[in-house]
Amino acid sequence: MASTPHIAVLGGGSTGSGVARDLAMRGFDVTLVEQGNLTHGTTGRMHGLLHSGGRYAVSDQSSARECIEENRVLRDIAAHCVEETGGLFVKRPEDSEEYFQEKLEGCEACGIPAEVLSGAEARAMEPHLAEDIEKAIHVPDGAVDPFRLVVANAASAVEHGARVETHSEVTDLLVEGGQVVGVEVEHASGPGLRVHGTEGGREAIRADHVVNATGAWAGQIGDMAGVDIEVRPSKGVMTIMNVRQVDTVINRCRPKGDADIVVPHETTAILGTTDEEVDDPEDYPEERWEVDMMIETLSELIPMLEGARTIRSFWGVRPLYEPPDVGSTDPTDITRDFFLLDHDDRDDLPGMTSIVGGKFTTYRMMAEKIVDHVCDRFGVDAACRTADVSLPGSEDFSVLRDYMDEFGLQSPIGRRSVERLGSRADEVLDTDGPNPVVCNCEAVTRAEVQDAIEGSGSDLNAVRIRTRATMGNCQGGFCAHRLAGELEDSYDEPTVREAWDELLQERWKGQRHALWGQQLSQAMLNYALHATTQNRDRDPADAAESVDFAAFDDGPTEATDREGIDGPGDTGVATDGGRDGD
């Protein structure tokens, strides 16, 4: 080739960012475009399980083998995104003994380390498990932060020369002479970092090849070029608890079913999930029965969930795909395997490859296979190194030094910061000014927030996924205005206000599904803090008409004030000559 091939990657989830990183590392010229924030689609709406493969050890052993292999890779290259929690498949009296044995044998057959524990041993490990749990299989499941992982992949891609454009929706595929030659995107706020209040615009991005890694949206991209990609989006709910009732992933050991997993995640535990086919990945009902089912069914495994506090629920859509001739009617039957669709071979449309199906845990392996395919296309001979080279932040994860002293941070704030930042801790936390905590629930400091703003512009939701700020108990009630304040140095006031409002609305959206008990009290307090104390709901700066300031009280004059002080009702003692009265 005379020049470096330019590949446009569509989709900023785990697959897209993984593909972009791999391509960039193998020397391609790469542009990644994502319609929202990184992780906007499916990746940001998962339960955070790093599969051991145990889940597929009976039904889909090739997936199970891939999972355990990638599980080991990610613990190595993405150490700062992974918590090695371990997992249990627990058996209740009504669950079948036969399936328990199949699961155990399946794990062994797939090379997944598996150990049988008695009910008492399982409860010694997780004291809140139900008394009637009979036994369990212990496997190396883990918890992974999908936000941190994708941001790290994108950062690595950028380090290797890639261009990453978020908030840039694909509006059309450029097709010339029967070949895909690029995409047209609409930038929400201009190219580069997202800035509220900045006018966007269209851009034609020409490319030698387009990789469609848009998951549940892949069919919509296909439609733009007249090719049929039958993705079957399937929704699932995740309900977030305000504390970790368990420190180990708890799976129910039965063939399949809704509401069968609890994943400890940072300060929370995530209950999941349902599996229901939907028509549109952007627009589907988020229903009460799904939330109720999570709590009621999973309480059979962990009884204290019944009365525990939830802080929000969210839904994700799986980009399920099966070849046209299979015809499954139940989404839980559709394979979790991924498919690479070369549209030249498949549809006589050169210039584009789609990737559909698949699982978060194996995103890197999928990316490797796609990039191998792209290399073949262009005759590039470059080996994949993504399984060996650590992601930014995980290069040297022996970093749990005593950062508390070094950066003047109190415990456990220092520890949390360093866990989030991994080997980037030095670079981020070493700041000239004071470094107060901005989000108390999640112990996020100003230095981390400022670092995230540098990386993502005025988008406070992007700051949120990079730092976890606003993701704790109060859901932004106490810190949304503080985050807005942190934008002040770099952006003008209307921009800050717009970003602040957007964050408030986003935080409200998921909380609506947790409005009873303590979280309803919290919601009322948040509403009071934002509306009563700050008047954000009726902010005169947002109003069309200016307030007639002159009509309002302009303060007590000295004479009226003195009258107030000396008047008949006075019960206090003036300590200031009567001027101020307290």
Partner 1 sequence: MAIESAVVVVGGGLAGGFAALGAAREGADVRLLSYKQSTLAQASGLVDVLGYAPDGTAADTAATDGGPLVDPYEAIPGLPDEHPYRTVGVDGVREAMGVFDEVADRYRGGHTDRNALVPTHGGTVKPTARYPASAAAGVASDDRDALLVGFETLVDFDAPHAAAHLENADVPFEVDGATIAFPGDPNADAKVTRYAKLLDEDSPVETATGTTRGARDALANAVEPHLDGAERVGFPAVLGDDDPAAVRESLAAALGVPVFEVPMGPPSLPGLRLEDDLYAALDAAGVSMETGNPVVDYESDGGGDGPRRIESVSIDRNGARIPFSADQFVLATGGLVGKGIGSDRERVEEPIFDCHVPHATDRYEWFDTGAFGDHEFARFGLPTDGDLRPLDAEGDPEFENLRAAGSVLGGYDFAAEKSGSGVSIATGHAAGAAAAEAVR
Query: Cα(419)–Cα(403) distance, rounded to whole angstroms?
Result: 11
Calpha distance 113→110 (Å, rounded): 9
Reported residue count of the chain is: 582
Q: Enumerate the β-bridge partners of residue 277.
A: 234
- Cβ 300 to partner 1 shortest distance, Å: 17
Q: By C-beta, is 270 or 413 nearer to partner 1?
A: 413
209 or 536: CB nearest partner 1: 536
Nearer to partner 1, 285 or 323 (CB): 285
Q: Extract the tokens encoding 129.
A: 């498990």
Specify the long-range contacts of residues 570-574, CB closer than 8 Å, at least 24 apart. none
CB of 405 to partner 1, least distance (A): 13
SS3 63: helix
Residue 265 or 481 with smaller CB distance to partner 1: 481
Q: How far is the CB of 466 from partner 1 (least distance, A)?
A: 18
Strands 231-241 and 276-277: antiparallel
- Name which of 262, 255, 270, 313 is nearest 128 in CA terms: 262
Q: What angle do CA 180, 282, 34 make, to 5 degrees?
A: 45
Query: Are 184 and 8 a contacting pair, CB within 8 Å?
Result: no
Query: Encoding tokens for residue 468?
Result: 């976890």
Distances 342 to 179, 309, 327, 339, 568 between C-alpha atoms, Å: 12, 47, 21, 10, 89
Contact assessment for residue 51 and residue 358, using Cβ atoms and an 8 Å cutoff = no
Query: Could you give the CA distance from residue 281 to residue 272 in angstroms, rounded to a whole number?
Result: 18
Asked whether the beta carbons of 90 and 301 are under 8 A apart, the reply is yes
Nearest to 372 by CA among 362, 360, 382: 382
Nearer to partner 1, 124 or 520 (CB): 520
Write down the least CB distance from residue 410 to partner 1, Å. 7
Q: Which is nearer to partner 1, 423 or 450 (CB)?
A: 450
Least distance from partner 1 to the Cβ atom of residue 329, Å: 29
**Helix (H) or strand (E) run with residue 154 in it:** helix 146-159
Nearest distance in Å: CB 520, partner 1: 5
Specify the long-range contacts of residues 508-516, CB closer than 8 Å, at least 24 apart.
510/240, 510/312, 510/313, 510/314, 510/475, 511/311, 511/312, 511/475, 512/312, 513/239, 513/286, 513/288, 513/291, 513/310, 513/312, 513/313, 513/314, 514/239, 514/240, 514/291, 514/310, 514/311, 514/312, 514/313
Q: How far is the CB of 426 from partner 1 (least distance, A)?
A: 18
- CB of 347 vs partner 1, minimal distance in Å: 41
Q: Which is nearer to partner 1, 291 or 317 (CB)?
A: 291
Which H, E and C letters describe 427-467, residue by residue? HHHCCCCCCCEEECCCCEEHHHHHHHHHHHCCCHHHHHHHH
**C-beta of 273: minimal distance to partner 1 in Å?**
19
Residue (379 or 568) nearer to partner 1, CB: 568
Contacting residues for 537 by C-beta, under 8 A, at least 6 apart: 530, 531
**Residue 61 in 3-state DSSP?**
helix
Q: How far is the CB of 431 from partner 1 (least distance, A)?
A: 10
| Nearer Cβ to partner 1 (25/483) | 483
Q: Which is nearer to partner 1, 280 or 516 (CB)?
A: 516
Least distance to partner 1, CB of residue 63, Å: 36
Instruction: Give the nearest distance from C-beta 278 to partner 1 in angstroms.
Output: 19
- Complex with partner 1: residue 52 or 519, whichever CB lies closer: 519
- Please identify, using beta-carbon distances, which residue of 389 and 547 lies nearer to partner 1: 547
* Closer to partner 1 by Cβ: residue 91 or 507: 507
Nearer to partner 1, 62 or 410 (CB): 410
Q: Checking DSSP bridges between strand 135-139 and strand 87-91, what pairing results, if any?
A: antiparallel
Supply 435's token pair.
Answer: 């470094």
The least distance separating partner 1 from the CB of residue 521, rounded to whole angstroms, comes to 5
* Pairing of β 268-272 and β 261-265: antiparallel
- Minimal distance in Å, beta carbon 251 to partner 1? 25
Which residues have C-beta within 8 Å of that of residue 501, sequence separation ≥ 6? 536
